[in-house]
Each structure stands twice: as C-alpha cells, then as structure tokens.
Amino acid sequence: MTTLSQRRARRERPGPLEYTKRWPLRVIVLATLAFLYLPLITLMVFSFNTSRRNVVWQGFTTDWYVKAFNNESLLQAFVNSLTIAFLCTIISVILGALAAVMLWRFRFPGKTAVEGSMALPIVVPEICLGVAMLVFFARVLPWPMGLPWPLNLGAITIAHVSFSFPFVSTVVRARLASFNRELEEAAKDLGASEWRTFWDVLVPHMQPGLIAGALLAFTLSLDDFVITFFTAGPDTITFPVKVYSMLRFSVTPEVNAASTVLILVTVVLTAVGLQMQNRTEADKAKA
C-alpha cells in the first residue's frame, strides 16, 4: 500500500513526454551559458600560453602571472582599484540606505522629481556621466594635484559614489517594500526611541538588501572603466584603465593574466557576498 508522499512523488515525477519537451529549453540554456562564458574561459586559458601571440597555443606556463605580479605599476593600479571600491561601497551603502528609507517612509513636495533624479545615473549612458564628471572636476570642483595616497583618489571615489549609491537605494527600497510597519509601532509602544527602533527593527530587515547593495556597489566600482578614464590622473590609474593601456600596444598573455586576476577577485567577492546574504536569510528563517 503506497503512502501519500509516494503517490505525490509519482505525480511530480516527469514522464518521457515531459523530458522530450524540456530538451529545447536545455539547449537554449546551454547555448546562452556558452555565449556568456566561453570568451572568459578562453581568456583564462590563453593566460597560461607560452607564446606572446594569443591566437597560437604553444604550451603551458605561469610566467605571465609572475610578470604581472612583478609589475609595480600594475600592482599599484590594483591597490588603487580596491581602495576606491572599498571607500565607494561604504559611502554608497550609507547614502543609498538613507535615501531608500526617505523615499519609502516620507511624503514631501517634489518626491517624484527626487525619485526621477535618483534613477538618472542608472539610465543615463556611462559615457555621458564620464564627460559630466570631467567637466565637474575641471571647472566646478577642481581636485588638488599632488595629494598623498589615498586622498589623491578622492575625485574617482566621488564619481563612483555618484553612480553606485542609486543602485544601492533601489535594492534596499525593494527590500523595505516587504516590511511590516506594525513592528515599528510595537517597538515604540515598548519604549524604544526613534533611533533604537531604526537600528534594532528596521536595519535587521534591511540587512539582506544592504549586503546585496554593497556587493553591487563594490563590483560596479572595481570594474568601472569609462567614468574612471575621464576622472583619473597620471598618478591615479586604476586596474581597468591600466589593462586598457596595456591593450593599446598588443594583446599579450600578461594582459590575459591581469584580466583573469580581476575576474577571479570579482567572482570570489560575489560568492562571499551571496553566501553572507543566504546565511542572513537562513538565520532569520530559523528565528
């Protein structure tokens, strides 16, 4: 005699006809993944090529990674990119979270205009933002030259924050849409102040959105080229701009090695951020 769970498993088990119907979908998914990731895999493979010509495979070597890590200008550019991305993430999360709470909670004159202006950095072409930042730092707020590190990275950091924090605000506001405002009222009825209510009730609910927004801001800043190209100076070269300058001469395995390092750093940080977000949601589900 079969149990209820066994009968349910039989009903949910796909038959031969359903497997046949799924084949086109599987082919489309595999073709899409190949289209997206085969170029990156090819770049990583040819970073181990002994030949300087990327189109000819001659053998396996790690000398190009040794050369890339011994390139002081490349390492300095990488440190600049990480520093800018770290500062941009902190500032963008704070500004984005506050902007999201403001637009979610309050009604005020001109709210529609504020929401529209928040969306501008997301929809405006990046080349236009780059030119705008170039004009801004050339005419409106000239950034002093010769400042010590990391103060010399201030112009690029400001530019990155300007287009990163709206993404954070969008993610956090979407998270706030599921918040039950009665929890705030209950906390205030129990004697919590406005600040304690915000910190102990609202921020924990926002935490997955904050992690996702921080991850998004970090990757956007670390990988940005166009806006950085217009705002960087001779002593503030970032990793993507340095790789581009190397590409202007020739595409060598050293360029592939540097690009592979950037891809791996981005993938690792994305995985860590997603793991933190999943762990946070799992802890809340257990609670």
In order along its 287 residues, the chain shows pLDDT tens digits of 455 555 555 555 555 555 556 777 788 888 888 888 888 888 888 888 887 766 677 778 888 888 878 888 878 888 888 889 899 999 999 998 988 888 888 787 887 888 888 888 888 888 888 888 888 887 777 777 777 777 778 888 888 898 888 888 888 888 888 877 777 778 777 777 778 888 888 888 888 888 888 888 888 888 888 888 888 877 788 888 887 887 776 667 777 888 888 888 878 877 776 777 677 666 666 65
User: Residue 210 falls within a domain, yes or no?
Assistant: yes
User: Residue 241 falls within a domain, yes or no?
Assistant: yes
Question: Using CA atoms, how far apart are residues 109 and 122, in angstroms rounded to an integer?
Answer: 23
For residues 123 and 211, state if they share a domain.
Answer: yes
User: Residue 197 falls within a domain, yes or no?
Assistant: yes
For residues 41 and 140, state if they share a domain.
Answer: no
Q: Which pLDDT score is estimated for 1?
A: 47
For residues 146 and 187, state if they share a domain.
Answer: yes
User: Residue 234 falls within a domain, yes or no?
Assistant: yes
Cα-to-chain-centroid distance, residue 35: 21
Three-state DSSP class for residue 60: strand
The one-character DSSP state at 56 is: S
User: Residue 277 falls within a domain, yes or no?
Assistant: yes
For residues 191 and 223, state if they share a domain.
Answer: yes
For residues 168 and 44, state if they share a domain.
Answer: no
The whole model's pTM is what? 0.76
User: Residue 169 falls within a domain, yes or no?
Assistant: yes
Residue 162 near residue 121 (C-beta atoms within 8 A): yes
The CATH number for 172's domain is 1.10.3720.10
For residues 34 and 145, state if they share a domain.
Answer: no
User: Residue 78 falls within a domain, yes or no?
Assistant: yes
Residue 237 near residue 77 (C-beta atoms within 8 A): yes
For residues 164 and 272, state if they share a domain.
Answer: yes
User: Residue 128 falls within a domain, yes or no?
Assistant: yes
Question: Using CA atoms, how far apart are residues 73 and 147, in angstroms rounded to an integer?
Answer: 18
For residues 152 and 209, state if they share a domain.
Answer: yes
Q: Which pLDDT score is estimated for 6?
A: 54
For residues 279 and 178, state if they share a domain.
Answer: yes
Asked if omega into 150 is within 30° of 0 (cis), the reply is yes
Half-sphere exposure of 179 (CA within 13 A, CB side): 24
Q: With 0-12 CB in 10 A as exposed, 13-18 as middle and 19+ as buried, what is 255? A: buried
Other CB atoms within 10 Å distance of the CB of residue 77: 22
For residues 113 and 20, state if they share a domain.
Answer: no
For residues 267 and 140, state if they share a domain.
Answer: yes
Q: Which residues constitute the domain of residue 212?
A: 65-286
Please name the helix (run of DSSP H) or strand (run of DSSP E) that holds residue 111, with its range, or none.
helix 111-123
Residue 168 near residue 216 (C-beta atoms within 8 A): yes
For residues 173 and 213, state if they share a domain.
Answer: yes
**What's the domain count of the chain?**
2
Q: Could you give the C-alpha distances from 148 to 49, 91, 161, 235, in angstroms and in order? A: 39, 21, 21, 10
Q: Which pLDDT score is estimated for 91?
A: 92
